Amino acid sequence: MAGSIAHPDPAARRAAVDRFLGVLESELHEVAAKEASPDVAASLREFLQLMGSIDASSAAAPRPTEPERLAVCRHWELSLQDGAPRPLVAALGALGPWLSWTQNPNYRRRPPDPTFLDNYGYAVVAGPLDGPPALATASRLALGLLLLGPGAHYPLHAHPAVEIYYTVTRGGEWWRDDGPWRREPPGAVIHHAPNVLHATRAGASPLLAVYLWRGELGTHARLTERRPAG
């Protein structure tokens, strides 16, 4: 996020969060209306209902003077350039300076490969008070961004929360259950039921996706020794 400077004005932060959430909600409503799977459409509607409870007027935790940056943030600007031009990408660009990036503590303790932590991170836009630093409060929902560097492989993992990814960039590949790997375009929805094994890998460019969690929010994902075929 070279050149980005955190703005001290909370009104500016709230405006950026409100803009992002409004654009995301509008796009997800359109996706839900067109979704062929009744189960995925129903899950999207549940997430949209929970989004209505987000309080963008206050941060979910005390904000640091400067948002936390990770090595993977060097890919932020390129990930926005790789996203299909649409209002969500513009909203993310405005939100970027406010984002504080973190990593799953399970992965920090035991990285899946030597380069993983330099090419992986997530930022929470809305979440519970007892979670990682977020820009807005949501007691029953975790919503944020996943960023992977080019060629990064986020191996098989699972968690008890229901999850939806909404892709921003092109070229990323996704694996679920027994596979196979699927390359998804920008604007695709990837749904994971509780405890379903899934994996993600970036192509030649960074991977950026919005994630939404509901259900058991306090349990971090854990990697598995199993490897997806292909």
Q: What is the mean pLDDT of residues 45-62?
A: 80
Kindly state the percentage of the chain with pLDDT values over 90.
Answer: 80
Q: Has residue 29 been placed in a domain?
A: yes
**The predicted structure's pLDDT at residue 6:** 46
Cα separation, 96 vs 93, in Å, equals 5
Q: Has residue 203 been placed in a domain?
A: yes
Contact 54, 137 (CB under 8 A): yes
**The predicted structure's pLDDT at residue 3:** 33
pLDDT in tens, 132-144: 999 999 999 999 9
Q: Has residue 50 been placed in a domain?
A: yes
SS3 101: strand
Q: Has residue 187 been placed in a domain?
A: yes
pLDDT in tens, 88-125: 999 999 999 999 999 999 999 999 999 999 999 999 99
pLDDT band at 61 (very low <50, low <70, confident <90, very high): very low
Q: Has residue 2 been placed in a domain?
A: no
Instruction: Give me the number of domains the chain comprises.
Output: 1
| CATH number for the domain that contains residue 181 | 2.60.120.10
HEC profile of 12-38? HHHHHHHHHHHHHHHHHHHHHHHCCCH
- Say which residue, 66 or 64, is predicted with more confidence: 66
pLDDT in tens, 153-177: 999 999 999 999 999 999 999 999 8
- What average pLDDT does the chain have? 90
Residue 59 belongs to domain spanning: 10-223
Q: Has residue 130 been placed in a domain?
A: yes
Least reliable range by pLDDT among 21-35, 51-65, 167-181, 185-199: 51-65
Q: Has residue 229 been placed in a domain?
A: no
Where is 93: in which H helix or E strand? helix 87-95
**The predicted structure's pLDDT at residue 2:** 37
- The pTM is what? 0.92
